[in-house]
Structure 1
Amino acid sequence: MTTAAKNHPRLLVSGSAVSAVTDLVIPALLLRTPDARWSQLVHIYVPRGPVVAFSGRDLRSPGIAAATEVALSAGFEAVVRSPGGRMVAYDSGAVVIDHLNSTSDLRHAGSATFAENAECHARVLRGLGDVDARVGEVDGEYCPGEFSVNVGGKVKVIGSAQRVTATGSLFSTVVQVTVSDRVRAVIEDVSEALGYDLRPSSIAGLADYAPALTSDEVAAAFAADYRGRLDMTDGPLPAEVVAHASTVVPSVSPFHVDDWTRANPVT
C-alpha cells in the first residue's frame, strides 16, 4: 500500500448520526470539504425519523407548497436533499447509503456508476433470501429511474440519485425494507400534489417478500458488501462535520440542504 493510500483510506461508517435532517446535511458538507482525509466514504444507516426528501426538480412543480404541507401534516420532515432525482419518503423501515468519492474525475459519475451500483445492490438483496431482485424501472414507480432495483419486475425497493461537484461525487441510495402505512400514504399524497403519475401498487419493501428481514439486518448486509468489495475500513464520521451538521435548526420548510451548507461551510 502506498503512502497516499494510507493517508486517504476508504472509510465505512455505520449508524445514524443524530436526526433525519442532520443525516442529510452530513453528506452535503462532506462533498464540499476540501482536502478530504479519505478517498471514498460510505455511510450506511437506518434513519431515525420520517422524512420526505425532495429534489431540486420537485421545486419546479407548481404543487411544491401543497406537497410540503402534505408531508408536514403527516409528521414528516420536509427536506430538499443534495442529490437529484425526484421525491422519496422513508422512515426507520428503510436503509440509506451515502457513497462519497473525493475525486473530481467525472469518470466516477454518470450512468456507468448507476449501473454498477444497481447490479451490486441487487446482488446483495438476492443474498438476503427469497428476493427476486432485478435492475430496471417498473411501470408507475415513484422517483422513476432506469437503474432502480425492483422485485419480480413489479415493485420498486431501491432508488438512487447522484450529485457531482468540483470536489467529488455523492451517490445516495434508499433501500425500502418495511414500508409503513404512513410512508405509503405520504408517497401517494405527495406524488399527487406534485402532479406525478404513480401506480400505488409499485410501492413495497423487502419485508413484503422476506418477512423476517429487518432494517438493521439489511444495513449490516450492505456494510459487509461494501467492506469486502471496496476494501473499506470501519471508522467514524469526521467529528467536526457531525458537530457542525448537528447545529442545523430548520427555519423554513422544505429545508434546503445545499443552501444551508453553502452558507455554513465547515471551517
Structure 2
Amino acid sequence: MNTLGHPRLLVCGSAGDAVTELVVPALLLRAPHAEWSQLVHIYVPQGPTVAFSGRDLRSPGIAAATGVAHRAGFATVVRSPGGRMVAYDSGAVVIDHLDRTTGIRHAGSATFAANAESHVRVLRDLGGVDARVGEVDGEYCPGEYSINVGGAVKVVGSAQRVTATGSLFSTVVQVAVSDRVRAVIEDVSDALGYDLRRSSIAGLADYAPALTPAEVASAFAADYRARLGVVDGAVPAGVVAHASVANGPSPFHVDDWTRSHPLPA
C-alpha cells in the first residue's frame, strides 16, 4: 500500500478489556487498507492480564500456567508479538506502535535498539530513574533490549510482530508493580519452567515513588509527538467494535482469531 501523505496518529486511552486491547493492534496490522502510515496507541490497561506468546504455548506447563493466572484473577491472552509471558495491570503503561512502512526486511535488532534508546531517554527525563538498556540476570521475558534500573531490575520490555502489511512493536512499561502482578509473574514462570530471579521484578515507582501510570503515559505521548510528528487521532470505531466481540478458548489466541475474523476489506 502507498502510505505517502497518510498521517501518523497518536491514540491515547484503553480500547476496552484485556482481549480487546490486544486484538485491536493485531487487526490493524493485518488490515488490507489504512488511512494512516503509523499509529501509536498508548494506554493504561483496564484489568489484570497475563499476555502469553506463541513460544509459551509450546511449554508443557501452559495449562498449569493458565490455571494459575485465572485463579489470581488475570485474563489470559496469547498476544500477537513474540517474546515470552508478561503480566501487568493498571499499574503499567502499554505502547503499541504500528508502522505500515516497515517490511520484514527492515525489522530486527535495529528497531529494538532505536526504541530502547528513545524509551530510556523518556524515563531519565522523568527524574529519579537510572534507566539503562540491557538484560538483567534472571529477568522475566528476557531480552537484549530490555530496560532496567541500575543494572538490577527490569522495568520495560518490548516485542515485535512483522507481517506483509507492516510491523507492530509493543512495549510494556511497569510503573507500579502490585503484589498480585509480582506473584503471578513468579507463579506463571514457575509453571512454564522458566528461570526467574524474583528480585528482578520491579516498577519505576520503586525508584521514583511519585510517578503514576498516567504521568508516564503522558511523557511517552509527548515524546512520540515530538519525535515522529504524530497527531492526535482515534482507532476507527468499527475496529474496536469488531475486536470487542472476540472470544474463544483460554488462553485466547489473538492471531488465530484475527486470521479467522479479518476486518472487512
What is the TM-score with the length of structure 1 in the denominator? 0.96
How many angstroms does 1:106 deviate by?
3.0
Q: Which residue of 2 aligns with 1:43?
A: 41
The code of the aligned residue for 2:131 comes to A
> Using the alignment, how far apart are the partners of 1:121 and 1:152 within structure 2?
15
For residues 133 and 49 of structure 2, the distance between their equivalents in structure 1, rounded to whole angstroms, comes to 25
SS in 2 for 1:160: strand
Q: Are the aligned partners of 2:103 and 2:162 in contact in 1 as well (CA < 8 Å)? A: no
Residue identity in the other structure for 1:29: L
1:261 aligns with 2:258: yes
**SS at 1:11 equivalent:** strand
> Following superposition of structure 1 onto structure 2, how do residues 19-38 of structure 1 map, counting pairs within 5 Å?
19-38=17-36
Q: Contact 2:135–2:146 at 8 Å: present in 1 too? A: yes
Distance in 1 (CA, whole Å) between partners of 2:158 and 2:20 is: 19
How far is 1:251 from its partner?
3.0
Gaps of 5+ in 2: none
Q: Which residue of structure 1 lines up, in the alignment, with residue 216 of structure 2?
A: 218
Runs of 4+ in 1 over 6 A off after TM superposition: none
Partner of 1:78: 76
| Structure 2 residue aligned with 1:163 | 161
Amino acid across the alignment from 2:153: V
What displacement does 1:104 show? 4.7
Q: Hey, what's the Cα distance between the residues in 2 that align with 1:25 and 1:4? A: 23
Displacement after TM superposition at 1:108 (Å) = 3.5
- Residue matched to 2:194: 196
2:113 paired with 1:118:
no
What is residue 61 of structure 1 aligned with on the other side? 59
The 2-side partners of 1:245 and 1:252 are apart by 16
Q: Kindly indicate whether residue 244 of structure 2 is the aligned counterpart of residue 246 of structure 1.
A: yes
Q: Distance in 2 between matches of 1:35 and 1:243?
A: 18
Q: 1:235 aligns with which of 228, 233, 236?
A: 233
* Residue 134 of structure 1: aligned partner: 132
Do the aligned residues in 1 keep the contact of 2:138 with 2:197 (CA within 8 Å)? yes
SS in 2 for 1:18: coil
CA 1:146/1:4 → structure 2, altered by over 3 Å: closer, same or farther?
Answer: closer
Partner residue of 1:95?
93
Q: Aligned Cα RMSD in Å?
A: 1.1
Give the partner amino acid of 2:76: A
1:127 is paired with a residue of what secondary structure? helix
- Does the residue aligned with 1:37 lie in a helix, a strand or coil? coil
TM-score by length of 2: 0.97
Shift of 1:4: 6.0
Taking the aligned partners of 1:77 and 1:4, their CA distance within structure 2 comes to 36
* Distance (Å, rounded) in 2 between the aligned partners of 1:47 and 1:39: 25
SS at 1:131's partner residue?
A: coil
Aligned length in residues:
263
SS of 1:117's equivalent? Answer: helix
For 2:205 and 2:102, locate their aligned partners in 1 and report how far apart those are by CA, in whole Å.
Answer: 38
Matched residues, percent identical?
79
1:129 CA displacement: 1.1
**How far apart are the structure 1 equivalents of 2:248 and 2:80?**
18
User: Could you report, residue by residue, the CA deviation over 1:204-239 in whole angstroms, capped at 9, with x for unpaired residues?
Assistant: 000000000000000000000001100111111111
